[in-house]
Amino acid sequence: MTAGAAALYTLLTYLCISRISHAITTAGSQFAGLGIKAVPAALAYAYIRTGLAEETVFRGFLLKRIGNRFGFATGNLIQAVLFGLLHGLPFGMVTHNILVTVLLTILPGAFGWYQGWLNEKRCGGSILPSWLLHGTMNFIVTCLSL
């Protein structure tokens, strides 16, 4: 189930991002056109700069703090909404495109919810599964622009 959900999320995200102007910077656009020589930097970027950093904040800190206070369901929903907004609003601000904003808020938000559930309900509270999943998806989307 996780592989299928990740593949669907990655495909939908790539389709959304590929439809916006190349003048707009995305997480992986700094590697666009660089080919195989960009792979080591793209790996570090995907797994450390975005994957580890975002998982530590959203699933490692926010979900655990809010979840401890208000329960898992509320904590997971709040961290997922914030995660989605962090991804969608910047695109909305630069594209002024409502559809892009909505899609790039809902997709990461839904997957953020899934990652919180995966960590807490299936993997004993570790952020390792969502970190690896997040990094892998970011790396794949980045590689599609190489």
Q: Tell me: the pLDDT tens digits for 87-125?
A: 999 988 988 889 889 999 999 999 999 999 999 999 999
Mean per-residue pLDDT for 122-141?
A: 94
Calculated CA dihedral for residues 138, 139, 142, 144, nearest 10 degrees: -110
Instruction: In whole angstroms, give the CA distance from residue 17 to residue 103.
Output: 10
pLDDT band of 23, cuts 50, 70, 90: low
Which of 13-17, 47-51, 137-141 has the lowest average pLDDT?
13-17
Q: pTM higher than 0.85, yes or no? A: yes
Residue 77 predicted with pLDDT over 90? yes
Mean pLDDT of 6-13: 84
Give yes or no for a contact between 59 and 76, defined as CB atoms under 8 angstroms apart.
no
- The mean pLDDT of the chain is 91
User: pLDDT at residue 18 above 90?
Assistant: no
Quote the pLDDT of residue 126: 97
User: Would you say the C-alpha torsion 43, 130, 126, 55 has a positive or negative sign?
Assistant: positive
Sequence-ordered list of residues with C-beta below 8 angstroms from that of 97, at least 6 positions apart, any chain: 20, 91
pLDDT of residue 30 exceeding 70: yes
The total of other beta-carbon atoms located within 10 Å of residue 61's CB is: 13
Cα–Cα distance between 19 and 3 in angstroms, integer? 24
